[in-house]
Structure 1
Amino acid sequence: MYKYLLVISLLAGVLITAMLSGELSPNRVPGAAIAVNPGPLFHSHQFMADNCEACHTPVLGVDNTKCIECHANDRALLQREPTAFHGNIGHCVSCHKDHHGERFLPTKMNHFKLVEIGFHVSDSIHQDISLQALACDECHTKQSPHNGQFGRHCLACHNTEHWMVAHYRHPSPRSRDCSQCHTAPPCHFGAHFRVCTQVAGKPNAKVDSCYECHQTTAWNDIKGFGWYRSH
Structure 2
Amino acid sequence: MKSKWIYIVASILFVVLWIMTSSESALKQPATWQRLAEPGQLSAAHAHLENNCAACHTSVTGIETSKCIVCHANNESLLQRQPTSFHGSISSCKECHLEHQGRGKRATSMDHVMLAKIGMRQLKDDDVNNKLLTWSKLWVPPHANITPDEVALNCATCHSNDDRHFQLFGQDCAQCHATDKWMIAEFRHPSPNSMDCAQCHQAPPSHYMMHFKMISARVAGRPHARVDQCFQCHQTTSWNDILGAGWYKHH
TM-score w.r.t. the length of structure 1 is 0.69
What letter corresponds to residue 110 of structure 1 in structure 2? D
What is the DSSP-based 3-state SS (H/G/I as helix, E as strand, rest coil) of the residue aligned with 2:170? coil
1:150 alignment counterpart: 169
User: Hey, what's the Cα distance between the residues in 1 that align with 2:35 and 2:237?
Assistant: 51
Contact 1:222/1:228 (CA < 8 Å) preserved in 2? no
User: Hey, what's the Cα distance between the residues in 2 that align with 1:220 and 1:137?
Assistant: 30
Q: How many residues end up aligned between the 2 structures?
A: 200
Q: State whether structure 2 residue 249 is matched by structure 1 residue 227.
A: yes
Q: State whether structure 2 residue 181 is matched by structure 1 residue 162.
A: yes
2:92 alignment counterpart: 91
1:44 alignment counterpart: 45
| TM-fit CA distance, 1:34 | 11
Residue pairs, 1:1-231, within 5 angstroms:
27-28=11-12, 36-123=37-124, 130-184=149-203, 188-189=207-208, 191=210, 193-195=212-214, 196-198=216-218, 200-223=220-243, 224=245, 226-229=248-251
Moved more, 103-112 or 33-42: 33-42
Using a 3 Å threshold, how does the CA distance of structure 1 residues 68 and 221 change in structure 2: closer, same or farther? farther
Percent identical pairs in the alignment equals: 44
Using a 3 Å threshold, how does the CA distance of structure 1 residues 78 and 193 change in structure 2: closer, same or farther? farther
What is the DSSP-based 3-state SS (H/G/I as helix, E as strand, rest coil) of the residue aligned with 1:204? coil
User: Hey, what's the Cα distance between the residues in 1 that align with 2:156 and 2:110?
Assistant: 16
Contact 2:112/2:150 (CA < 8 Å) preserved in 1? yes
User: Hey, what's the Cα distance between the residues in 1 that align with 2:230 and 2:60?
Assistant: 64
Contact 2:65/2:91 (CA < 8 Å) preserved in 1? yes
Moved more, 152-161 or 179-188: 179-188
Contact 2:95/2:111 (CA < 8 Å) preserved in 1? no
Contact 1:221/1:228 (CA < 8 Å) preserved in 2? no
| TM-fit CA distance, 1:173 | 3.7
Contact 1:214/1:220 (CA < 8 Å) preserved in 2? yes
Contact 2:82/2:161 (CA < 8 Å) preserved in 1? no
CA RMSD of aligned residues (A): 3.4
Using a 3 Å threshold, how does the CA distance of structure 1 residues 84 and 198 change in structure 2: closer, same or farther? farther
Using a 3 Å threshold, how does the CA distance of structure 1 residues 214 and 73 change in structure 2: closer, same or farther? farther
Moved more, 79-88 or 127-136: 127-136
Contact 2:43/2:102 (CA < 8 Å) preserved in 1? yes
| TM-fit CA distance, 1:137 | 1.7
TM-score w.r.t. the length of structure 2 is 0.65
Using a 3 Å threshold, how does the CA distance of structure 1 residues 142 and 199 change in structure 2: closer, same or farther? farther
**5+ residue gaps, structure 1:** 1-24
What letter corresponds to residue 122 of structure 1 in structure 2? L
| TM-fit CA distance, 1:78 | 2.5
Moved more, 109-118 or 64-73: 64-73
| TM-fit CA distance, 1:214 | 2.5
